[in-house]
């Protein structure tokens, strides 16, 4: 019996799998998907648009800078992860993306995508404050 949730089965009409999105992220590219029906943009692969349910999703380059929409500090991190550390939802114009913060930020601070980290085999974007 094969898993229906493998990376290769998480594709959209343009074929952006989670593995391909992850590869883009690890290469320093922030990409998402844009719905050709309503124009809604998401920062991570989806099978359907979260706004209208459309399935014709196209690759969309996201900006590498944005503003902190919300933030929190993780004071009790998962086992094997050093803490405390800060995470934020970053407003990238068309989409929002959760990422780890290198340094310290407050809501509305400008940040830039700088690198990725990997925790338990999953990549996460890292943003740093802009001066």
Whether the pLDDT of residue 6 is over 80: the answer is no
Q: What is the pTM of this model?
A: 0.81
Tens digits of residue pLDDT in 58-104:
999 999 999 999 999 999 988 888 889 999 999 999 899 999 999 99
C-alpha–C-alpha distance, residues 70 and 48, integer Å: 25
Contact 109, 129 (CB under 8 A): yes
Pairing of strands 57-61, 85-91: unpaired
Tens digits of residue pLDDT in 13-42:
555 778 888 899 989 999 999 999 999 999
Every domain of the chain and the residues it spans? 7-61, 65-129
Residue 13 CA to its chain's centroid (Å): 19
Angstrom CA distances, 123 to 1, 38, 52, 55, 116, stand at 27, 29, 28, 25, 6
- Give residue 104's pLDDT: 94
Q: Which of 105, 69, 68, 67 is nearest to 86 (CA)?
A: 105
Q: Which of 93, 108, 105, 111 is nearest to 34 (CA)?
A: 93
Q: Which residues contact 9 (CB under 8 A, 6 or more apart)?
A: 3
């Amino acid at each position: 019996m094969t898993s229906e949730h493998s990376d290769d089965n998480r594709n959209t009409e343009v074929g952006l799998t989670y593995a391909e999105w992850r590869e883009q992220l690890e290469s320093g590219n922030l990409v998402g998907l844009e719905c050709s029906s309503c124009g809604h943009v998401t920062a991570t692969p989806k099978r359907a648009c979260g706004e209208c349910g459309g399935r014709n999703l196209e690759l969309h380059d996201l900006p590498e800078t944005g503003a902190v929409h919300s933030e929190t500090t993780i004071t009790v991190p998962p086992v094997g992860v050093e803490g405390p550390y800060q995470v934020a939802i970053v407003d990238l114009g068309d989409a929002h993306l959760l990422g780890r913060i290198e340094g310290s930020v407050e809501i509305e601070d400008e940040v830039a995508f700088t690198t990725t980290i990997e925790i338990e085999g999953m990549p996460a974007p890292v943003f740093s404050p802009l001066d």
